[in-house]
């Protein structure tokens, strides 16, 4: 009964902390003028749009997650929808939103909401489903009604997952900053896009840094809120019980009043702004001038002797052979049900009329996946050995993941010009993050008693790594490959801006001519490529877990 009494007296923690998390968007609306350091006045418009889309996406995701947790049929209906929504390319959202809602900030907000709510739904469902039976039994013994059970027991118990969902909603909204500018949303995304079109690398990098700073600040805040343990409420007035919230409200009120007195509260003083764009431009110019020859030799050799043979091989495989191979793998990994699901995905792609372009997309993602595995897994192994290296690599992953994806196109184009090499290296830089993260996670979460048993058996460090830790962490590494593939599919669509001939070019044409049907079909082709690989890799990982007795 002690557990249920704690929940009964602290049920307010979840809604309050969700409100605080989303309220930070409004604080950034007032404090975001610091990014005038780069003379970007449109940061306000960007923050306003995201301050609307993030709370709405969070509320929608939370509501659907609760519905799915309470209703088995709703869960079964929502799960495939969430899979498709999270696999669709961003530009497929834009085509449909532009047709039904036109262009402008409202269309950008709608596209951002649709893109951002699925992680919140998944994590809400995961959190509620993962509550131990003892907690629910304590609530039932205390006589809780279904409403009390939800708001006073289940939601507080699922607080870590809910706060992680808030974190993911914020990250997804920031990921749409640039992409939503294609349908008229103003703000930092529009500024970044215009600078990319002018190849102003230094200025574009500064805009990207502004987005990264916002993302890192919100990420650290939401993680801290998720990790913070509830404390006993003090008696007294509101400002005594909630001193930090009271201070934040007071700060907002004071700054709003001061904004009518002095313009420096509204906008950062222009004479105090700084710019580092010339430094970045000088670095790029130096690299391209002094290393143009060796880079050109590497580019040509990599393209002629590695990429072109792989592309020729993959695009020449008959579609029936691909269907047969996928059917066999699906049956081998998960039985006939899994085989029927994956073969239906492949047949849709084959009958859509975009088979050749789909195979070019597969080739680019496949090459990038191999390169990411060759780099990310050794990097994750090295990082997992020491605490400081783990923190270093995790911080680097955080930084690279929060950079707007378009930023990665600039350096590769400057170094390798416009070709498949540029596109694949841009994909590698972006998709390297999850395989590195999951490798570190898997190796660091091997049960300590297993490592101790191997040590007492006389195993060396290398034997412990390759014969104990790596086999046990293998399922997590496979899931990292799965996420790397999804990141690669996303970046392939972005890489279409530098001249690839895959499905991304067809999506851009659909967006240009507002062809919603074509955009949706191509988006589903991309989604089904991802879902096919996702199904096979997840089944493989589950089989390995059962083999090692992990599940």
Q: What are the percentages of helix, strand and coil residues in the chain, rounded to 5?
A: 85, 0, 15
* pLDDT score, position 64: 92
**Cα–Cα nearest to 383, from 440, 441, 446:** 440
Q: Are residues 387 and 311 in the same domain?
A: yes
- pTM (global) more than 0.85: no
DSSP label at residue 243 = H
| Residue 527 CB partners (closer than 8 Å, separation 6+) | 84, 87, 88, 89
Question: Using CA atoms, how far apart are residues 341 and 26, in angstroms rounded to an integer?
Answer: 44
Q: Are residues 47 and 192 in the same domain?
A: yes
Look up residue 83 and give its two tokens.
């899979």
Token look-up 């080739």 returns: 363
Give the CA distances from residue 289 to residues 282, 283, 293, 294, 422, in Å, rounded to whole numbers and listed in that order. 10, 10, 9, 11, 18
Q: Are residues 190 and 321 in the same domain?
A: no
Give the CA distances from residue 335 to residues 80, 288, 320, 346, 540, in Å, rounded to whole numbers and listed in that order. 19, 53, 20, 17, 12
417 phi, psi to nearest 5 deg: 65, -165
Question: Using CA atoms, how far apart are residues 435 and 478, in angstroms rounded to an integer?
Answer: 8
Residue after which a domain boundary falls, among 207, 228, 249: 228
Quick check: is 303 in a domain? yes
Q: Are residues 76 and 184 in the same domain?
A: yes
Quick check: is 315 in a domain? yes
Q: Let me know if 545 is exposed, middle or buried by CB neighbors in 10 A (0-12, 13-18, 19+).
A: middle
Q: What is the CA radius of gyration of the chain?
A: 25
DSSP label at residue 307 = I
Question: Using CA atoms, how far apart are residues 481 and 468, in angstroms rounded to an integer?
Answer: 20
Angle at 51 between CA 50 and CA 53, to 5 degrees: 55
Quick check: is 409 in a domain? yes
Give the CA distances from residue 399 to residues 33, 115, 170, 426, 433, in Å, rounded to whole numbers and listed in that order. 22, 21, 15, 16, 10
Question: Using CA atoms, how far apart are residues 119 and 468, in angstroms rounded to an integer?
Answer: 33
Quick check: is 433 in a domain? yes
Quick check: is 239 in a domain? no
Q: Are residues 298 and 216 in the same domain?
A: no
* pLDDT score, position 368: 92
What is the domain range of residue 391? 291-547
Q: Are residues 358 and 219 in the same domain?
A: no
Question: Using CA atoms, how far apart are residues 29 and 193, in angstroms rounded to an integer?
Answer: 21
Question: Using CA atoms, how far apart are residues 320 and 347, in angstroms rounded to an integer?
Answer: 9
pLDDT in 10s for each residue of the chain, 551 residues: 444 443 444 444 444 444 444 444 444 444 344 444 444 444 444 555 556 788 888 899 999 999 988 888 888 888 888 877 877 777 777 777 877 777 777 777 888 888 888 888 888 888 888 787 888 888 888 888 888 888 888 888 888 778 878 877 887 787 777 777 777 676 777 777 777 777 777 788 787 777 777 777 777 777 777 666 666 666 777 777 778 888 888 988 888 888 888 877 777 777 777 778 888 888 878 887 888 888 889 989 999 999 999 999 999 999 999 999 999 999 988 888 889 999 999 999 999 889 999 999 999 999 999 999 999 999 999 998 888 898 899 888 877 877 777 778 877 887 887 888 888 998 998 889 889 988 998 888 888 888 888 888 888 888 888 888 888 888 788 878 888 888 888 888 888 777 677 888 888 788 777 777 888 888 888 888 988 988 888 888 777 777 766 65
Q: Are residues 423 and 498 in the same domain?
A: yes
Q: Are residues 353 and 469 in the same domain?
A: yes
Q: Are residues 220 and 327 in the same domain?
A: no
| Residue 309 CB partners (closer than 8 Å, separation 6+) | none
pLDDT tens column, 159-181: 877 887 887 788 778 777 777 77
* pLDDT score, position 33: 42
Domain count, the chain: 2
Question: Using CA atoms, how far apart are residues 471 and 548, in angstroms rounded to an integer?
Answer: 8
Question: Using CA atoms, how far apart are residues 541 and 265, in angstroms rounded to an integer?
Answer: 54
Which contacts (CB < 8 Å, 24+ apart) does range 389-393 have?
390/440, 390/444, 393/436, 393/440
Do residues 123 and 162 make contact, with C-beta atoms less than 8 angstroms apart?
A: yes
Quick check: is 130 in a domain? yes
Question: Using CA atoms, how far apart are residues 526 and 534, in angstroms rounded to an integer?
Answer: 12
Q: Are residues 501 and 395 in the same domain?
A: yes
pLDDT tens column, 201-254: 778 878 777 777 777 777 777 777 766 666 666 677 777 777 888 888 898 888
| Residue 96 CB partners (closer than 8 Å, separation 6+) | 516, 519, 520
Helix (H, G, I), strand (E, B) or coil at 42: coil
Quick check: is 279 in a domain? no
Q: Are residues 301 and 186 in the same domain?
A: no
- Characterize 122-143 residue by residue with b for buried, 16 or more Cβ atoms within 10 angstroms of its Cβ, and e for exposed: bbbbbbbeebeeebbebbeebe
Q: Are residues 216 and 324 in the same domain?
A: no
Quick check: is 404 in a domain? yes
Question: Using CA atoms, how far apart are residues 73 and 423, in angstroms rounded to an integer?
Answer: 42
Q: Mutual orientation of helices 90-101 and 503-512 as an angle, nearest 10°?
A: 10
Residue after which a domain boundary falls, among 228, 252, 278: 228
Do residues 42 and 186 make contact, with C-beta atoms less than 8 angstroms apart?
A: yes
Other beta carbons less than 10 A from residue 318's beta carbon:
8
* pLDDT score, position 444: 86
Look up residue 241 and give its two tokens.
């019980």
Question: Using CA atoms, how far apart are residues 26 and 48, in angstroms rounded to an integer?
Answer: 8
Question: Using CA atoms, how far apart are residues 55 and 294, in angstroms rounded to an integer?
Answer: 50
Residue after which a domain boundary falls, among 200, 228, 256: 228
CATH number of the domain at 126, please.
1.10.3720.10
Do residues 472 and 450 make contact, with C-beta atoms less than 8 angstroms apart?
A: yes
Question: Using CA atoms, how far apart are residues 159 and 10, in angstroms rounded to an integer?
Answer: 12
Q: Sign (positive/negative) of CA torsion 63, 68, 74, 78?
A: positive
Write the secondary structure of 411-472 as one string of H (helix), E (strand) and C (coil): HHHHHHCCCHHHHHHHHHHHHHHHHHHHHHHHHHCCCHHHHHHHHHCCCCHHHHHHHHHHHH
Question: Using CA atoms, how far apart are residues 138 and 54, in angstroms rounded to an integer?
Answer: 34
Do residues 163 and 21 make contact, with C-beta atoms less than 8 angstroms apart?
A: yes
């Amino acid at each position: 009964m002690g557990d249920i009494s704690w929940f009964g007296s602290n049920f307010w923690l979840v809604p309050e902390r969700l409100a605080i998390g989303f309220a930070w968007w409004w604080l950034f609306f007032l404090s975001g003028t610091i990014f005038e350091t780069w003379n970007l006045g449109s940061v306000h418009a960007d923050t306003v749009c995201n301050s609307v889309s993030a709370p709405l996406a969070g509320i929608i995701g939370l509501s659907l997650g609760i519905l799915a947790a309470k209703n088995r049929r709703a869960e079964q209906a929502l799960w495939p929808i969430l899979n498709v929504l999270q696999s669709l390319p961003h530009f497929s959202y834009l085509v449909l939103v532009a047709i039904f809602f036109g262009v402008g900030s409202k269309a950008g907000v709608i596209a951002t909401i649709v893109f951002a709510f699925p992680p919140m739904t998944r994590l809400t469902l995961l959190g509620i489903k993962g509550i131990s039976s003892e907690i629910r039994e304590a609530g039932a013994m205390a006589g809780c009604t279904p409403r009390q059970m939800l708001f006073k027991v289940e939601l507080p118990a699922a607080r870590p997952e809910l706060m992680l969902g808030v974190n993911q909603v914020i990250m997804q909204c920031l990921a749409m900053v640039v992409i939503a500018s294609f349908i008229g949303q103003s703000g930092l995304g529009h500024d970044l896009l215009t600078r990319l079109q002018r190849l102003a690398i230094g200025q574009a990098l500064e805009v990207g840094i502004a987005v990264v700073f916002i993302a890192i600040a919100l990420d650290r805040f939401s993680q801290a809120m998720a990790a913070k343990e509830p404390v006993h409420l003090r008696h007294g007035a509101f400002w005594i019980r909630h001193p930090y919230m009271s201070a934040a409200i007071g700060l907002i009120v004071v700054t709003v009043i001061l904004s009518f007195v002095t313009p420096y509260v509204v906008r950062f003083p222009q004479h105090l702004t700084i710019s580092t764009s010339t430094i970045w431009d000088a670095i790029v110019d130096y690299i391209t001038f002094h290393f143009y020859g060796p880079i050109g030799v590497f580019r040509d050799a990599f393209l002629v002797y590695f990429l072109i043979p792989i592309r020729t091989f993959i695009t020449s495989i008959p579609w029936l052979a691909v269907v047969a191979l996928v059917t066999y793998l699906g049956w081998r990994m998960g039985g006939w049900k899994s085989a029927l699901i994956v073969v239906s995905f492949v047949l849709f792609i084959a009958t859509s009329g975009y088979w050749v372009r789909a195979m070019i997309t597969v080739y680019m993602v496949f090459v990038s996946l191999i390169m990411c595995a060759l780099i990310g897994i050794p990097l994750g192994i090295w990082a997992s050995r020491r605490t400081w290296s783990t923190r270093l690599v995790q911080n680097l992953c955080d930084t690279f993941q929060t950079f707007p994806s378009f930023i990665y196109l600039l350096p590769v184009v400057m170094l390798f010009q416009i070709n498949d090499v540029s596109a694949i290296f841009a994909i590698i830089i972006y998709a390297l993050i999850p395989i590195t993260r999951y490798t570190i996670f898997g190796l660091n979460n091997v049960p300590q008693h297993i490592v101790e048993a191997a040590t007492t058996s006389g195993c060396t460090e290398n034997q412990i790594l390759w014969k104990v830790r790596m086999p046990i962490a293998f399922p997590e590494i496979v899931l990292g490959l799965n996420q790397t593939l999804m990141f690669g599919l996303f970046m392939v669509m972005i890489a279409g801006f530098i001249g690839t001939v895959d499905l991304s070019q067809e999506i851009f044409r659909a967006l240009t001519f507002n062809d919603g049907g074509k955009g949706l079909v191509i988006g589903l082709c991309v989604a089904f490529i991802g879902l096919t690989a996702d199904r096979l890799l997840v089944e493989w990982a589950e089989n390995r877990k059962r083999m090692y007795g992990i599940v």
